[in-house]
Structure 1
Amino acid sequence: MKQKRREIKNKKSRKDSGHICFSVFLFFYKITSVIGFHNHILMVLSFQIMKNTLRMDEI
């Protein structure tokens, strides 16, 4: 009886932690989808610039 109760408790805590992780993920996703879109463009541009500068250094 005690073991069964413990298993239920473990399942519940695991479910809660998963839910918390998911809500945190959603929270960050919302922020990054607002800001991150611009950041993504900047990242791509900076990456292209970096690649070009590296290529110039090689030449």
Structure 2
Amino acid sequence: MALFCNVRFDCVIQSIDVETIYDVPIKMMDEGLDKVTLEKFNIKESSLILINGKISSIN
């Protein structure tokens, strides 16, 4: 889809079927959405940590 619109290739993610809604954030991280989002908001990747499925600041 990125080929036909003004969206970078790494900003396009798949729509993957998962067993529960709780698996969605993990699958999005597997697709790299977390890194793209942090880059867009100019947040350093090392300043966030994922603990028990929740993102926490470690500043």
Q: TM-score, normalised by structure 2?
A: 0.27
Bigger helix fraction:
1
Bigger strand fraction:
2
Bigger radius of gyration:
1
Larger RCO, structure (CA 8 Å, separation 6 or more): 2
